[in-house]
Amino acid sequence: MTKQSLLFFLPLLLVLSLGTAAQSTTAEKTASIRATTPNPLRFIVRGTSLIDLNQPEKPVFFRGMGYSPFLPGETPVLLMPPGNDDRYGKHLALIKDLGVNYLHVFPRFMPRNFFLALDKTDLVYSQDVWVWAYEEDFLAPAFQAKTLADIKDVIDHTYQVGRPDRLVLFSIGDELQAKCVTSTDARHPDVHDYQGKHLTVTGRTPTEVAITKLIDEAMDYELTRYGRRHLYCHTSWTHIGPVANRPDLEVSQESILVPDMGDLVCLNLYTYANGVRTSPPGSVTGTTYQGYLEQLAKELHKPILITQVGLSTSPIAPKPWVPGFGGHKVEEVPATLQSVWQDVRSARGRDVFCGLVFFELQDEWWKTAKSLEASTRHDPEDPEQWFGMYEVGKDNNLIPKGTIPATVKRLFTEP
């Protein structure tokens, strides 16, 4: 091809590329909420800020704690909710003493006694709505129908038992598995756009469309049945995006997931995670964590809530190919929490971050348990069971792990 011919065809080639392979990059992906869709009544998004209309003079920054109050002998694996007893008053007293102002709640059906205890505090909360993350096809009609029915049950529980006036957001799905993102995208190579009643996305991956459909239909259900809505997000993790230019991602560039299809971006962001540990140094602290934060702030144009960060103190780190996943000594954890806090608060573009949630209040013995007996023991080789700031001791009392809670309190009571 001559130079003149090449110059003639360049505009056409550019247009064609924007409609095909380049759709997978963040720059060409769009997500919008219809102007006619009502705003939530309390917590709203303005630009890249989260605003509490009860205190609208400054943007919100949540000092948060992940909360899953299952005790030994209780497990959601067997479809059990946490017990409806007096634990919640004790737990919330500890939480308030740490300087926490926000709870990220994981059980889908918290019992009435939790909300009665919540009434005695000024805490607000968000509701995680767990979606089966191991599905081979997130767009399959049967999966979409079953998942939407589960989401509706959680919304109904919020209005029948919960506290909608204290609720910040519903998170639809959490940490989709890379192999399932890949298989979904391979099954639907022509699905890139979606126009729902409230959400419109273009240039997206099939998996992003699948999550958008669930959020759109959940939002419509809440508005139709209850006449109001809350904020919505999907919680993702760095192994599958949204930052794309990292060598250790677990999906191809064509399947990068950017979780911006709701009101705000929610992201589990661990110091040792894929995508984070290969980031360039941050501008102030020099850590790869801050480097990742600063690229997020540059690329995304919605408020970003860091929904999980922490370290597991499991005695055994079972996956040498995932350094940092488990095996941390209790005395090592405070320094990492301090570092993360400094990274967030000093990052270039930090105003886009609307909160930091430490994961989590207490160890979760039920993780991966397949029976009641299994949920009563702490497995040394399972890091998922050891992320708590507190361990569960005699009579189910929460016992602080070294100075971890004191460190959280010191950080969260800073200006």
Quick check: bond before 294 cis, omega within 30? Answer: no
Token pair for 336: 């990492």
What residue ranges of the chain have pLDDT lower than 50?
A: 1-26
DSSP per residue, 167-205? EEEEEEEE---HHHHHHHHHH-TT---EE-SSEEEES--
pLDDT score at 27: 56
Token pair for 53: 């209309």
pLDDT score at 370: 76
Backbone φ and ψ for 369, nearest 5 degrees, come out as -75, 135
Strands 353-358 and 167-174: unpaired
- pTM of structure: 0.93
Give me the torsion for CA of 113, 378, 102, 399, rounded to 10°.
Answer: 80
Q: Are the C-beta atoms of residues 168 and 231 closer than 8 Å to each other?
A: yes
pLDDT score at 12: 33
pLDDT score at 19: 33
